[in-house]
């Protein structure tokens, strides 16, 4: 009787295993999409080029686009064929239907029902039958078993493992499918980082763990070839994270982020020469999508711009190609460097210019001083005035212009550092990173000016909107502040916030003071035409303490207004504060 039970149990096991094998199928996954509509559209596109395309939900919001079904051997052979013919992405891989949920797209093969695999353990009296089926993946393997399993891997499978090791940051040699000392050290490094014994040989479980993270990230990107006929560029784009259809605002084709991914790709295309390339190099650095911190490289026929801040990382590559400037920009959310590296490699590898060039009048040609081709131009947090105080380019300005700045510039491109400040008088001394040669330098008045005399303030009243300073005329009302403060002059003139930090001239062109910003912290608002200035004696004392001996003004006759305007333009600078 016991013998009969064992025979029946063995037969049941065999039947269950056959059913499981019949129901398990293997597929070639070519990409994945986060939304059903996207997945259906992409699957239909692939169905127009390949046979037996389908799409299944893999759990959550991700949907795999696959080709199949096959046996495992057939799937691996077909994968190599399709890769070799360049018909599918190089990162396509074989998957089992164990990962599938609902089918969301059926090609010519029609709907396929995915059902859970049955339990292979037969129903039998536990006292008479103790049978444990062999697990599909061994829980543990010896080094000898891992070595033997590795020998059964194809060269392509070994290349895939090297690629995954490289992606995880452990492998830096050629992807050649040859497991030499470099690969062994990389495997040991990965094993140690993941709390495995460092043998240099991957067990089956370890191989799957290594490949799973890389494959999942690859699938989430949805890398796919795109031919932008308008821009004249063919390139692989991460269509899992950016829109498949661009918007056009010359010289850019913009592939915007989808589902809040934070990624964006610009394709650059415009007719041009070396001067066009140089102009684009300068203009790109004014955009918010190119942060200030990063490497810049410019040659005669190409340039590369990188930038990073706490929010994004940006990479731009552009080159001259047959009378046109073509390239791309990748904007990527900060903190996702591994996937960004995959996308950058795909962009550079696949970037192929064609004959078309994006016309200057194509798409959105609306204009704004704050936008370039629909992209926001970087603007300083504040812009105030200042003036040259020494022949080597030192500048005097107001402390309001430099407070809490990560970067201070003159005319938005010359870097300055704060050398000294006086909070009580609102004075700040700036020094250039390299020596400058100003055309004109302030000459400080050495005598007290007459009350009621005519004065003029030079400043960037409109905070850089105009390319030159404005001269505003008024009168000197008092040589002390409203509260009797010494070293403060009171002026009657109509100044703007951007004028703060600018020089106050008397009729001879001597600098009698520096215009202070209007104080609104006390809740008291002065009339518009009442403004205060730190006087020349206060400025001289401050500069002396900072190691600068300012030039003294000679007593001379009044200057003609046009001469004063020209001198003020040569002396006065725009001081920008960047956060």
Tens digits of per-residue pLDDT, 532-553? 999 999 999 999 999 999 999 8
- Reference 321, options 289, 352, 342; nearest CA is 352
245 and 209 belong to one structural domain: no
60-65 mean pLDDT: 80
- Minimal CA–CA distance to 216: which of 58, 324, 26? 58
One domain for residues 369 and 514 = no
132 is written with which tokens? 């444990």
Residue 7 lies in a domain: no
Q: Are residues 534 and 439 in the same domain?
A: yes
Q: What is the number of structural domains in the chain?
A: 4
Residue 134 domain-assigned?
Answer: no
Q: What is the DSSP string of 112-170?
A: ----PPPPSSPP--TTT----PPPSS-S---HHHHHHHHHTS-HHHHHHHHHHHHHTT-
Could you tell me the pLDDT band of residue 19, with boundaries at 50, 70 and 90?
very low
The one-character DSSP state at 498 is G
User: Whole-angstrom Cα distance, residue 447 to residue 568?
Assistant: 20
Residue 93: predicted pLDDT: 82
Residue-wise pLDDT for 251-289, tens only, equals 899 999 998 899 999 999 999 999 889 888 988 888 888
Taking a C-beta distance cutoff of 8 angstroms, is the pair 504, 553 a contact? no
* DSSP states of 555-578: P-PPPPHHHHHHHHHHHEEEEEEE
Tell me, yes or no, whether 368 lies in a domain: yes
Residues 197 and 246 in one domain: no
Give the domain extent around 211: 143-221
Is residue 283, in this structure, part of any structural domain at all? Answer: yes
Identify whether residues 393 and 537 lie together within a single domain: yes
Farthest CA pair distance, the chain:
130
Mean pLDDT of 123-144: 50
Q: What is the CATH number of the domain that holds 328?
A: 3.40.1000.10
Give tens-digit pLDDT for 494-518.
999 899 999 999 999 999 999 999 8
In this structure, the answer to whether residues 553 and 408 fall within a common structural domain is yes
Q: CATH code at 577? A: 2.40.10.120
549 within some domain = yes
pLDDT band (50, 70, 90) for residue 464? low
**Residue 467 or 478, more confident:** 478
* Tens digit of each residue's pLDDT (9 = 90 or more) over 38-48: 888 888 888 88
- Measuring CA to CA, which residue among 550, 564, 573 is closest to residue 506? 564
Of 197, 221, 245, the domain-final residue: 221
What are the angstrom distances between the C-alpha of 46 and each of 25, 229, 352, 440?
20, 19, 21, 68
Q: Burial, 457: exposed, middle or buried (Cβ in 10 Å; 0-12, 13-18, 19+)?
A: buried
347 has a pLDDT exceeding 50: yes
Query: Higher-confidence residue: 89 or 545?
Result: 545
List pLDDT tens digits, range 157-190: 899 899 899 888 899 888 898 999 999 999 999 9
Last residue within a domain, chosen from 181, 197, 221: 221
What are 308's strand-pairing partners?
Answer: 313
Which candidate, 254, 252, 234, places its Cα nearest to that of 244? 254
Give CA–CA dist 473/491, Å, rounded.
10
Rounded-to-integer distance, Cα 374 and Cα 267, Å: 14
Q: How far apart are CA 151 and CA 147, in angstroms?
A: 6
2-8: long-range contacts at Cβ-Cβ below 8 A with a sequence spacing of 24 or more?
A: 2/128, 5/124, 5/125, 5/128, 5/129, 6/128, 6/129, 8/124
Task: Find the helix or strand (DSSP H, E) in which 161 lies.
Answer: helix 155-167
Strand bridging mode 443-444 / 551-552: parallel
Task: Using a pLDDT cut of 70, give the percent of the chain over it.
Answer: 85
| Best CA proximity match to 28, nearest among 103, 73, 78, 86 | 78
Domain boundary among 376, 397, 424: 376
- The pLDDT assigned to 326 comes to 95
């Amino acid at each position: 009787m016991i013998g009969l039970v064992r025979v029946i149990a063995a037969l049941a096991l065999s039947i269950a295993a056959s059913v499981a094998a019949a129901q398990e199928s293997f597929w070639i996954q070519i990409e994945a999409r986060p939304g059903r509509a996207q997945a259906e559209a992409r699957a239909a596109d692939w169905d127009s080029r390949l046979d037996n395309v389908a799409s299944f939900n893999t759990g959550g919001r991700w949907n795999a686009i696959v080709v199949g079904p096959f046996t495992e051997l057939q799937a691996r052979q077909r994968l190599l064929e399709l890769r070799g013919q360049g018909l599918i992405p190089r990162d396509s891989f074989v998957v089992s239907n164990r990962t599938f949920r609902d089918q969301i797209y059926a090609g010519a093969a029609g709907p396929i029902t995915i059902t859970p695999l049955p339990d292979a353990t037969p129903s039998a009296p536990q006292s008479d039958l103790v049978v444990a089926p062999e697990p599909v993946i061994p829980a543990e393997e010896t080094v000898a078993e891992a070595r033997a399993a590795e020998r059964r891997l194809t060269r392509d499978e070994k290349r895939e493992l090297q690629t995954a090791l490289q992606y995880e940051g452990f492998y830096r040699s050629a992807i050649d499918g040859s497991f030499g000392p470099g690969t062994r050290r990389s495997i040991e490094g990965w094993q140690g980082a993941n709390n495995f014994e460092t043998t240099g040989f991957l067990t089956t479980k370890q191989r799957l763990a290594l490949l799973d993270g890389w494959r999942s990230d690859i699938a989430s990107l949805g890398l796919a070839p795109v031919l932008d006929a308008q821009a004249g560029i063919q390139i692989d784009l991460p269509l899992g994270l950016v829109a498949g259809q661009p918007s056009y605002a010359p010289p850019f084709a913009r592939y915007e982020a989808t589902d809040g991914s934070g990624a964006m790709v610009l394709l650059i295309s415009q007719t041009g020469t070396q001067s066009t390339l140089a102009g684009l190099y300068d203009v790109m650095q004014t955009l918010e999508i190119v942060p200030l911190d990063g490497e810049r490289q410019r040659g005669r026929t190409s340039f590369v711009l990188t930038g990073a801040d706490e929010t994004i990382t940006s990479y731009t590559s552009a080159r001259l190609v047959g009378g046109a400037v073509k390239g791309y920009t990748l904007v990527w959310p900060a903190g996702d460097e591994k996937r960004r590296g995959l996308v950058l490699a795909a962009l550079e590898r696949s970037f192929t210019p064609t004959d078309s060039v994006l016309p200057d009048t194509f798409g959105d040609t609306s204009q704004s001083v704050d936008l370039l081709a629909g992209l926001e131009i970087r603007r300083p947090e504040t812009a105030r005035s200042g003036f040259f105080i020494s022949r080597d380019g030192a500048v005097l300005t107001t402390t309001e212009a430099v407070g809490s700045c990560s970067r201070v510039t003159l005319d938005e491109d010359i870097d300055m550092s704060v050398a000294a400040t006086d909070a009580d008088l609102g004075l700040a001394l700036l020094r250039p990173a390299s020596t400058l040669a100003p055309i004109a330098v302030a000459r400080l008045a050495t005598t007290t000016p007459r009350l009621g005399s005519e004065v003029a303030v030079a400043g960037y009243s409109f905070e850089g909107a105009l390319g030159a300073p404005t001269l505003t005329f008024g009168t000197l009302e008092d040589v002390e502040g409203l509260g009797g403060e010494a070293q403060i002059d009171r002026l009657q003139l109509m100044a703007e916030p951007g004028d703060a930090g600018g020089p106050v001239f008397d009729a001879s062109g001597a600098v009698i003071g520096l215009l202070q910003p209007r104080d609104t912290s006390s809740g008291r608002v002065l009339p518009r035409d009442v403004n205060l200035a730190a006087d020349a004696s206060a400025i001289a004392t401050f500069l002396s303490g900072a190691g600068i001996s300012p030039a003294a003004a000679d007593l001379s006759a009044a200057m003609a207004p046009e001469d004063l305007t020209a001198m003020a333009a040569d002396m006065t600078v725009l001081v920008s504060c960047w956060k």
